[in-house]
Amino acid sequence: MNPIIISILVILIHVHIGFLLSLIKKRNDVADILWGIGFILISISLYIFGYRNLNFLIISIMVFIWGLRLSIHVYSRNKNKKEDYRYIEMKEKWGKNFYINSYIQVFLIQGILSLIIASPVYLSALISPSFRSTTILGIILWIIGFIFESVGDHQLNLFLKNPENKGRIMQSGLWKFTRHPNYFGEISQWWGLFLVCISAPLGFLSIISPLTITYLLLYVSGIPLLEKRYEGNPEYEEYKRKTSVLIPLFPRK
């Protein structure tokens, strides 16, 4: 079976299971926990169907590590806490049409985005790509991204757990060099996966993956939402003035 068809079927099942879980749990932020799992399921399914060339296996291993860490992190962050404020606002806004809007605008759209962003996985499976210098560069970039995302999340988690930091802005560790080390790491990982995939005959098409995740985090659901939340906070405004928004740089004096 064609790897693209397999991926579509996997994501369709994943989307509907996620939506059913949201109805049972009565909270839409299960979508955030399940986001990384969808990519893992695509990789495993393609492996089961016999797609096992070297670059596909490299990409699948990196996607598995990324997806598992992210899902565990989001689950731990959300456990025993009220639903994410973004989804609470959606409930209030959608009212009686909540369930249909939730299905379309949260789970179905997430499924479509998953298929777009997962393109390095199934395109690398189509025809066996060769191992090139871009493969090595991609692995290095992915490792750098994974370190930034996982370490950044861990540092922020420790900061927020300390009662003395209530109401304060995280400005140490990786957060000293970029206001969003986790997003820098996320973007870097997907550009890394693209570089690993590009040696496949249709690998260049997977550029849609890092372009999509970069656009979403820079202009839609990532940085804009977080920055708006702290708008007008004097400490954050000062932090914003001296600290790079995404690419790690030494703070401005």
Residues 144 and 90 in one domain: no
Per-residue pLDDT of the chain (253 residues; tens, 9 = 90+): 899 999 999 999 999 999 999 999 989 999 999 999 999 999 999 999 999 888 899 999 999 999 999 999 999 998 888 887 788 888 888 888 888 999 999 999 999 999 999 999 999 998 766 678 899 999 999 999 999 999 999 999 999 999 999 889 999 999 999 999 999 999 999 999 999 999 888 889 999 999 999 999 999 988 998 898 888 899 999 999 999 999 999 998 8
Separation of alpha carbons 199 and 46, rounded Å = 19
Separation of alpha carbons 139 and 62, rounded Å = 9
What residue numbers bound the domain in which 154 lies?
Answer: 129-253
Residues 109 and 136 in one domain: no
Residues 25 and 89 in one domain: yes
Residues 123 and 169 in one domain: no
Residues 151 and 124 in one domain: no
Give me the sign of the Cα torsion angle 185, 188, 194, 198.
Answer: negative
Residues 141 and 245 in one domain: yes
Residues 175 and 221 in one domain: yes
pLDDT at 129: 61
At position 61, the amino acid (one-letter code) is: I
Residues 171 and 240 in one domain: yes
Residues 76 and 8 in one domain: yes
For the chain, the farthest-separated pair of C-alpha atoms sits apart, in whole angstroms, at 58
Q: Kindly provide the b/e burial profile for residues 148-161, where b requires at least 16 CB atoms within 10 angstroms of the residue's own CB.
A: bbbebbebbeebee
Residues 140 and 247 in one domain: yes
Separation of alpha carbons 153 and 151, rounded Å = 5
Separation of alpha carbons 196 and 3, rounded Å = 17
Question: Structurally, how many domains does the chain consist of?
Answer: 2
The domain boundary, picked from 73, 104, 128, lies at 128
Residues 136 and 107 in one domain: no
pTM of full prediction above 0.85: yes
Residues 93 and 3 in one domain: yes
Q: Which two tokens stand for residue 245?
A: 């928004």
DSSP label of 231: T
